[in-house]
Structure formats: structure tokens, C-alpha cells
Amino acid sequence: MRDKQSMQKSILPSLWYCNSEQVRLIFGNLSENTSRLIGQISSEDLNKVIEEVDYKDESLLFWLCSRELETLCSNPGLIENISSTAFNKVIEQGDNKDQSALFWFCGATEGMQILASNPSLVEKISSEALNKRIEQGYNKDQSALYFLCGATEGKQILVSNPGLVDKISAEALNQVIEQGVNKGGSALLCLCATPEGKQRLAQNPGLADKISAEALNQVSEQGVSKDQPA
């Protein structure tokens, strides 16, 4: 059996992607060299989905999206190199279970701005990753869709990309968050709280047909008090 160090080096040789401490040392302590280091990341290394058990389903893209998204977004060459597979890969185990690079992209202003200005990246979004509900931890019951519906930029992305709207599932649209600062919120509630969201619903009868009676009642009870994710 290989030791952990040799396994890490074999996973991503160009950056020695291993764990958050190792990569944070590179990006944090060598900030003056960040641009140079980022520029050296190849498309293959950025998007490589790890199969080793310790980091299964993760990628350098996922790590950057979840911890260094601002750094990623400041490098347009890397954005162009994002693959659909790595962007949408849902992690199936561990502390990051149910998360994806897309989830973290949609959860931050920087990511939303990149999506708004890159239609080709929006086209890469899969239905699975868009609608995937987090089943555990701090982000329980949230999804990439929830964050899209809760941000002004996200609603504009939905208005501008009808193909993305077609990928929305009834379950994700109606999912009510049951804990935390966003308790009582839902993607539907976020849409109903703004003119842009209501426009998207009005222009898409198929989306409106996915609304459940329970979620609609929740909207009536909550009003617009949960129109933005915290």
C-alpha cells in the first residue's frame, strides 16, 4: 500500500493537490505568487476527479470553488477550462457529501457574476447538480438552485437561460429549509419575492406546474421575509 504522501503526489502532480492545509499554504503564504501558480494549472489537473478513497469525487476545481473562489474567478483562463464533469460532480461521501463545485459557485457573489457573464458555463450545468439537496450539516436542505433563486444575479441568469429553467426539478423548487438562518426558505419563496422571479414563473407554465400546494402555502405564510439566502 502506498503511503499517503506518495498517493497525494500521484493524484495531481502539477500542484500536489492533497488537503486544504497543503494548498492553503501555497495560496495563502505565497500570495505574491498566486497569479503565477494559478496560471500554471492545466485543464487536466483542474478538472481531474479523484478516485482515491480519501478524496473521492473531489477535484482541484471543487477545492477552489469551496475555499478560494475569488482566486479562481480572477483567472478567466481557468474559467474557460472548467469541464462539465468536474463542475457538476456531486460528492458521494465524507464531510462534503452532496456538494459540488457548482453548489459553491452559486453560493457566492463572485461565482454568480461569472455565471452571468459566461453563458457557455451556464450551459454546462447539469440537472443533477443544480437540484441536488444537501442532506447533512450546516447547508442541510439547500441546493445550487436555492442560491440561484435567492440572488438578483441568479434570477437574471434564469431569465436569460430558459434551458436552465427546464432543468429545475419540482423537488428542489419546493424544498423548504428546516434549520439554520434560512429556516423556512425555499427556491420557490425566493422566486415569488421579486419581480424577476415572478416573471420567470409567469413566462414558464411548465415551471409553475411544478409548484406543490404545500410549498405554495409556505410562501403565503412566510410572505417575502425569506427572499434572500443568508
**The last residue of a domain, from among 104, 125, 146:** 125
Domain match, 108 and 212 both: no
Q: Evaluate if residue 31 carries a pLDDT over 60.
A: no
Domain match, 82 and 29 both: yes
Write out the DSSP string of 209-228: TT--HHHHHHHHHHTTTT-S
Distance CA 164, CA 59 (A): 24
**The last residue of a domain, from among 61, 91, 125:** 125
Longest dimension (CA), the chain: 58
Distance CA 91, CA 95 (A): 9
Number of domains making up the chain: 2
Distance CA 170, CA 220 (A): 18
Domain match, 53 and 102 both: yes
Which residue segment(s) compose the domain that 175 sits in? 133-230
Domain match, 171 and 115 both: no
Encode pLDDT of 111-143 as tens digits.
999 999 999 999 999 999 999 999 998 899 999
Domain match, 109 and 137 both: no
Instruction: Tell me what the pLDDT averaged over the chain comes to.
Output: 81
Domain match, 219 and 199 both: yes
Encode pLDDT of 175-203 as tens digits.
999 988 888 889 999 998 888 788 888 88
Domain match, 21 and 96 both: yes
What pLDDT is attached to residue 223? 53
**The last residue of a domain, from among 125, 147, 169:** 125
CB 228 within 8 A of CB 197: no
What pLDDT is attached to residue 229? 60
Domain match, 230 and 137 both: yes
How far from chain centre, in Å, is Cα 129?
8
Domain match, 114 and 173 both: no
What pLDDT is attached to residue 228? 54
Would the pTM count as exceeding 0.85?
Answer: no
